[in-house]
Amino acid sequence: MIEVRNLHKAYGALEVIKGVDFTAHKGDVISLIGSSGSGKSTILRCVNLLEDSQQGDILFQGEPVTWKGEGQRRHPADAKQVLRIRTNLSMVFQQFNLWSHLTILQNVMEAPVTVLGRDKAEAEKTARRYLDKVGIGDKCDAWPAQLSGGQQQRAAIARALAMEPQALLFDEPTSALDPELEQEVIKVIKDLAAEGRTMMIVTHDMKLAADVSDHVIFLHEGRIEEEGRPDTLFGSPKSERLRGFLSSTV
């Protein structure tokens, strides 16, 4: 589904991703863990082409992103390809990013109508179905500010699902939530994993990573320091840095 080869990314002179490789097959759940600033969000943003990268390949369903220019001047060459990839890799952000001037239902209908050109009645039906699925079908007419953080994040997940993407990208989806609200979002993510959805999850929650992932990647300063199955990686970490990281997160 998603393949990244030798990815390099710099912000000006600051090199933040220094040659990263991974593959997410259909149905895989991959978690990215690591200290703040290690490059986790940047990788997700590069994968769905919200950021340019200077070197390396990104393939979506076997189709490589085509680039023009080199190094700091490298950009995707094909706007249609960018749109296709971005609409197929829906992202869920730490801060929910709901539109405050739209109701919950309108938030979920917006992109299917404006980006995918769906019929409004059809988009509304789909939106209601996904809002039901994440347990807030009764909040359709509420404004985002009237919802708890956990409900807002579930609305953001429904919004991502309404695009019927090939994969979901989560960037610290529970970090902005109080512990009691975290659980309702974690339950939704676990349900999605159990359905066999392809997902990449950046998380500080090692229990979530251990519970849902097929593969965990530990990043350190823009490189993969260690990776593997969650039971191996958490059960017998090889790298001193990973052991230090894990002992600091519990």
DSSP-derived letter for residue 237 is -
In whole angstroms, the minimum distance from the beta carbon of 24 to Mg ion comes to: 18
Residues of the chain by 3-state class (helix, strand, coil), percent to 5: 40, 25, 30
Where do runs of H (alpha helix) occur along 5-103?
Answer: 40-47, 79-88
Nearer to ligand ADP, 13 or 121 (CB): 13
Number of residues that bind Mg ion (CB under 5 A): 1
Element at 159 (helix H, strand E): helix 149-162
- Give yes or no for residue 11 binding ligand ADP (CB under 6 A): yes
In whole angstroms, the minimum distance from the beta carbon of 222 to ligand ADP comes to: 7
Which pairing describes strands 29-33 and 2-11: parallel, antiparallel, or unpaired?
unpaired
Site map (CB under 6 A) of ligand ADP, residues 26-55, x = contact: --------x-xxxxxxx-------------
Near Mg ion by CB under 5 A, which window of 36-44, 111-119, 126-134, 220-228?
A: 36-44
Under DSSP, is residue 209 helix (H, G, I), strand (E, B) or coil?
helix
Nearer to ligand ADP, 187 or 241 (CB): 241
In whole angstroms, the minimum distance from the beta carbon of 180 to ligand ADP comes to: 25
How far CA 177 is from CA of 39, 72, 113, 151, 209, in Å, comes to: 22, 36, 30, 10, 17
Near Mg ion by CB under 5 A, which window of 15-23, 38-46, 114-122, 183-191?
A: 38-46
Q: How far apart are CA 158 and CA 105, in angstroms?
A: 10
Near ligand ADP by CB under 6 A, which window of 11-19, 23-31, 153-161, 205-213?
A: 11-19
- Give yes or no for residue 56 binding ligand ADP (CB under 6 A): no
Burial of 108 (0-12, 13-18, 19+ CB in 10 A): buried
- Cβ neighbours for 90, distance < 8 A, ≥ 6 positions apart: 159, 160, 161, 163, 165, 167, 168, 169
Nearer to ligand ADP, 37 or 244 (CB): 37
- Give yes or no for residue 41 binding Mg ion (CB under 5 A): yes
Closest CA to 219 of 48, 8, 40, 3: 40
Nearer to ligand ADP, 130 or 245 (CB): 245
In whole angstroms, the minimum distance from the beta carbon of 185 to ligand ADP comes to: 18
- Give yes or no for residue 100 binding ligand ADP (CB under 6 A): no
Which positions touch Mg ion (CB under 5 A)? 41
Which positions touch ligand ADP (CB under 6 A)? 11, 14, 16, 34, 36-42
